[in-house]
Amino acid sequence: MDYFAQQLINGLVLGSIYGLIAIGYTMVYGIVGMINFAHGDIFMIGGFIALITFLILVSFGLTAIPLILLIVLLVSMAITALYGWTVERIAYRPLRHSFRLAPMLSAIGMSFVLTNFSQVAQGARVKPVPPIITGGHTLHEGPDGFVVQLSNIQIIVVITTVVLLALFTWLVSSTRLGRDMRACEQDQTMASLLGVDVDRTISMTFVIGAALAAVAGMMYLLYYGLVDFFMGFVAGIKAFTAAVLGGIGSLPGAMLGGLLIGLIETLWSAYFSVEYKDVAAFSILIVVLIFLPTGLLGRPEVEKV
């Protein structure tokens, strides 16, 4: 039971990271209707920028951990958001009204560009950092000596995710920008007739998605203590799987899907085999889609003739 509780905690933490990335996928899909294949690499760039900022701050003699974390978070969000904006501007905007597969391939190309850009710029080797946040709390000590641990970093990941989600939900539901986004999602032509700047709204969607991916990248760096240029691919696929599992286009769905994928992966590794954890996640995706073709919380697609 204790073992299960520990795995549950680990799974939820991993799921939070996936969920943060998945929101970027689902938002872009909802508004532009394309799979942003470069989003996983945006997450990777976010991790790298967090790492570099962290190194610079430490070498300047900054020791207050909360201050460092805050600066790293803001810098990484800002620069990564600019990456998201640039990618949209270069690779997707010219193809806005093109046929469906063109932006997707352009996105795959952009993903190759970002992966190899960071490989060329920062080298192919894995970059490890010493644990930045240490310590934790013992929740429960079982009679057999098994200890359920909740580390500080896990608390930070979950709290950051919850805060960001709340902020983000508020942004979408009650600000001007959120209203524009929802309008563009429903009908871009109509929205532009009513005075919504569609181009700007779509750009902002990419910017917000990239900023959330940067947070996920930073959390990944803190939690696992390493980044490498190839981590965007696997994390991107998992997050996209999460978005589809939850019903693509639905924001709560993306978070739910992320948590589920995180839990499935962790529990499968704990009880069955580590090697097949990804196979398990993908298989469950396929099984769910057989019975619910639009995901868990997705709206059924209305077919217009």
Partner 1 sequence: MSAPPAVQTSRAPGAAFILKKALISALVALVLFSLMIGVRTDAGPDGQLTYWTRFGDLAAMVATVFGGSIVLELLRQWWGPVGTIRVVPPAVQSTLSLAGRLVAPVLLVFTFLVPVLFYNERYILDLGILVLTYVMLGWGLNVVVGLAGLLDLGYVAFYAVGAYSYALLATNFGLSFWVCLPLAGILAAFWGVLLGFPVLRLRGDYLAIVTLAFGEIIRLVIINWQSLTGGPNGVTGIPRPTLFGIPLTPGDDGLAAMLGIEFSPTHRVVFLFYLILALALLTNWVTIRLRRLPIGRAWEALREDEVACRALGINTTTTKLTAFATGAMFGGFAGAFFATRQGFISPESFTFHESALVLAIVVLGGMGSQLGVALAALAMIGGFELFRGLEQYRMLVFGMAMVLLMIWRPRGLIGHRAPTVFLKTNQAISSDLVKEGHG
Whole-number Å distance between alpha carbons of 252 and 240: 14
Q: Which of 4, 56, 173, 186 binds partner 1 (CB under 8 A)?
A: 56
Q: Which of 14, 23, 79, 184 binds partner 1 (CB under 8 A)?
A: 79
Q: Which of 166, 272, 276, 299 binds partner 1 (CB under 8 A)?
A: 276
Q: Does 125 bind partner 1 (CB under 8 A)?
A: yes
Whole-number Cα distances in Å, 288 to 81, 172, 181, 245, 297: 33, 28, 29, 7, 12
Q: Does 296 bind partner 1 (CB under 8 A)?
A: no
Q: What is the DSSP letter of 298?
A: P
Q: Which residues within the stretch 32-51 sit at the binding site for partner 1 (CB under 8 A)?
A: 35, 45, 48-49, 51
Burial 161-177 (b: 16+ CB within 10 A, else e): beebbeebeeebeeeee
Angle at 69 between CA 212 and CA 54, to 5 degrees: 95
* Closer of 178 and 295 to partner 1 (Cβ): 295
Q: Does 283 bind partner 1 (CB under 8 A)?
A: yes
Residue closest to 93 by CA, chosen among 116, 110, 80, 113: 110
**Which of the ranges 126-134, 141-149, 155-163, 204-212 carries the binding residues for partner 1, by CB under 8 A?**
126-134
- 3-state SS, residue 16: helix
CB of 166 to partner 1, least distance (A): 28
Q: Does 103 bind partner 1 (CB under 8 A)?
A: yes
Q: Does 131 bind partner 1 (CB under 8 A)?
A: no
